[in-house]
């Protein structure tokens, strides 16, 4: 199920200049769901630490409109998870790759010392 939503998100993001909301409505999602998804996605990015997103939630609509609630929850989870995944990738790229190189260099130096005939 989460792969389905990830695929939907990626397809929507790659669809060009149209907003995610417009694309979702064109693909048959109810406008209330698309509204909730858009608000939840922005909130999920903000919760994950991305400075671009703002926390948005129409609380009355969330409490009384099942489609908005469902869209908000899905948007929040999707965008929060994607942002966290990107942050983890960047962290790994920045720190762990350097550590891997340092470990390999230390291993090579140790092997060179062991094979050296003094």
> Distance (Å, rounded) from C-alpha 68 to C-alpha 6?
19
33 belongs to a structural domain: yes
94 belongs to a structural domain: no
So what's the pLDDT on residue 54?
80
So what's the pLDDT on residue 97?
63
Helices (H), the chain: 2-13, 20-26, 31-47, 59-64, 66-91, 97-115
So what's the pLDDT on residue 103?
75
11 lies in which domain range?
Answer: 2-82
49 belongs to a structural domain: yes
So what's the pLDDT on residue 11?
55
So what's the pLDDT on residue 50?
62
98 belongs to a structural domain: no
41 belongs to a structural domain: yes
115 belongs to a structural domain: no
114 belongs to a structural domain: no
Count other C-beta atoms under 10 Å from residue 45's C-beta: 22
How many domains in the chain? 1
Considering only CA atoms, which of 63, 69, 57, 58 is closest in space to residue 33?
69
74 belongs to a structural domain: yes
Q: Mind listing the pLDDT tens digit of every residue in the chain (118 residues)? A: 455 555 555 555 554 456 888 999 999 999 999 999 999 988 888 887 766 668 899 999 999 999 999 999 999 999 888 877 776 666 667 766 666 777 778 888 878 887 876 5
So what's the pLDDT on residue 81?
85
So what's the pLDDT on residue 104?
76
> Distance (Å, rounded) from C-alpha 24 to C-alpha 16?
13
């Amino acid at each position: 199920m989460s792969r389905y939503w990830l695929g939907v998100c990626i397809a929507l993001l790659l669809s060009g200049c149209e907003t995610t909301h417009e694309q979702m409505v064109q693909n048959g999602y109810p406008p209330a769901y698309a509204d909730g998804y858009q608000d939840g996605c922005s909130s999920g990015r903000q919760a994950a630490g991305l400075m671009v997103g703002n926390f948005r939630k129409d609380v009355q609509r969330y409490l009384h409109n099942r489609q908005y609630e469902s869209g908000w929850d899905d948007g929040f989870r999707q965008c929060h998870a994607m942002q966290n995944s990107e942050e983890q990738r960047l962290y790994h790229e920045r720190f762990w790759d350097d550590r891997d190189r340092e470990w390999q260099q230390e291993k090579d130096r140790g092997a060179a010392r062991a094979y050296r005939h003094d």
